[in-house]
Amino acid sequence: MTMLSSGFELSVDVLRQRQNVKWGKYGADVLPAWVAEMDFAVAHPIQRTMERMVADHDYGYPNRGGNHGDGTLVEAFSNRMKSRFGWEVDPSLILPLSDLVQGTFSTILALSDPGDGVILQLPAYPPFHEAINSTGRRLLAHRLHPTEDGWRHEPGSLAKLVDATTKIILLCNPQNPTGRVFEQAELEEIGRVAIERDLVILSDEIHADLIYGGAKHIPIATLSPEIAARTITITSATKGFNIPGLRCGVLYFGSAELKARFHARFPARVLGSPGITGIDTTVAAWNHGQDWLEAVLEQLDANRHRMVNFINAELPAIRTSLPEATYLGWLDCSRLGLSGTAHDFFLEHAKIGFSAGEAFDPNGHQFVRFNFATSGRILDQILGRMADAVRSNARG
């Protein structure tokens, strides 16, 4: 395998050989910077876990402790929440699952009815739109606006959105695609409105491992017992440790009452359960992957500065802000004066596959989401191609 200097970077040749969506979607002339996967080799403890499983032909139904054979995962989640956030979770309220989007859909189906309102921060991860729209719920858009301190809600705007049939606030923290990490006061406002208007908070915290210096992730369920009691948190090791294809995550109910309400409509069996590769690698990541994560975060930190500094210096018509978390940049290209969408422009003229802004916000045609979790060399190529395309477009 062709490795570069940092020990986890992979060459373009290796990346193109892998059968994943990121490198498989576009032709060989395109550099992909879209779906949330990193172009990095995984932590050694994860790789060793897979190798052991293969060597032992360990492919039976999992028997890893606990009532459902996934006790090691429940324990690793509990320990990680305690060590990272000082959060004491109740193991009986943890529901392991294979797919966090399943967790979003099932929560919306279980805890609201067709026609009910679900509040969603905009712009938002596309499956959140789908989870609300395809189930016949009403999407109530809680817009984030660009400010000097990154993307923020207008203070007081949340309470105004809630109507008589609003049931759920879908929170994404850290936020995809803007990279915001919500501060305590912002989370407290969400919690206060949820309590006053009797709403469930569905908090997707999948990006919580990918935080840069200066920002602090606060699981909203840790703010108070009253907020916890109405919060379902979903998280996994898949983004932080780059194992999305291994399909494993956790849904955590903040109270037994919430869990009972969920299961009354959605028996656990409907969700299936994670397989052994997902369980064991997630446990390896959470228990033994921290050194790797910190090394990767150093590289991502350098990349986010490189991306923003380059854009500010060379492409000042594109507006963006430094993400506080995630490896995703949210780029406003509306001042480029493009005739079509920003995604199509960069695909056609720069041969870069970004995520299309309109998938995150119906008004987002002039935005793209930039996945910068790649080697410095590939990142520089992407930035160079962007600059060339924008300059030749400006020359007409």
d(CA 112, CA 265): 10
**Cβ–Cβ under 8 Å, residues 35 and 21:** yes
**Interface with ligand PLP includes 169 (CB under 6 A)?**
no
Which one-letter DSSP state was computed for residue 42?
A: P
In the list 45, 62, 123, 244, the residue contacting ligand PLP (rule: CB under 6 A) is 244
> Closest CB to ligand PLP among 234 and 338?
234
The tokens describing 41, both together, are 């080799």
> Closest CB to ligand PLP among 36 and 350?
36
**Cβ–Cβ under 8 Å, residues 64 and 70:** yes
Between vectors from CA 224 to CA 218 and to CA 227, what angle results, nearest 5°?
A: 90
| Total residues binding ligand PLP (CB under 6 A) | 13
The tokens describing 132, both together, are 């609300």
**Interface with ligand PLP includes 324 (CB under 6 A)?**
no
In the list 33, 36, 118, 386, the residue contacting ligand PLP (rule: CB under 6 A) is 36
Rg from Cα positions in the chain: 21
> Closest CB to ligand PLP among 45 and 244?
244
**Interface with ligand PLP includes 101 (CB under 6 A)?**
yes
Render 308-372 in DSSP notation, one character per residue: HHHHHHH-TTSB----SBSSEEEEE-GGG--SS-HHHHIIIII-EEEEEGGGT-TT-TTEEEEE-
User: Nearest approach, Cβ of 180 to ligand PLP (angstroms)?
Assistant: 12
CA proximity to 375, closest of 41, 22, 23, 45: 41
- Options 76-84, 93-101, 135-143, 317-325: segment touching ligand PLP (CB under 6 A): 93-101
**Cβ–Cβ under 8 Å, residues 22 and 34:** yes
**Interface with ligand PLP includes 238 (CB under 6 A)?**
yes
User: Nearest approach, Cβ of 236 to ligand PLP (angstroms)?
Assistant: 5
> Closest CB to ligand PLP among 230 and 247?
247
First to last CA, the chain: 43
d(CA 328, CA 330): 7
User: Nearest approach, Cβ of 37 to ligand PLP (angstroms)?
Assistant: 8
Considering only residues 106 through 135, tell me which ones interact with ligand PLP, judged by CB under 6 A. 125
> Closest CB to ligand PLP among 6 and 135?
135
**Interface with ligand PLP includes 139 (CB under 6 A)?**
no
**Interface with ligand PLP includes 300 (CB under 6 A)?**
no
In the list 100, 200, 297, 342, the residue contacting ligand PLP (rule: CB under 6 A) is 100
In the list 121, 176, 299, 374, the residue contacting ligand PLP (rule: CB under 6 A) is 176
**Interface with ligand PLP includes 359 (CB under 6 A)?**
no
CB-side neighbour CA atoms (13 Å) of 70: 25
**Interface with ligand PLP includes 204 (CB under 6 A)?**
yes
User: Nearest approach, Cβ of 176 to ligand PLP (angstroms)?
Assistant: 4
Instruction: Tell me the pairing of strands 352-356 and 117-122.
Output: unpaired
- Options 56-64, 96-104, 296-304, 308-316: segment touching ligand PLP (CB under 6 A): 96-104
Is the preceding omega at residue 127 within 30 degrees of 0, hence cis? no
> Closest CB to ligand PLP among 373 and 386?
373
Residue 147 bridge partners (DSSP): 150
Residues that bind ligand PLP (CB under 6 A): 36, 99-101, 125, 172, 176, 204, 206, 236, 238, 244, 249
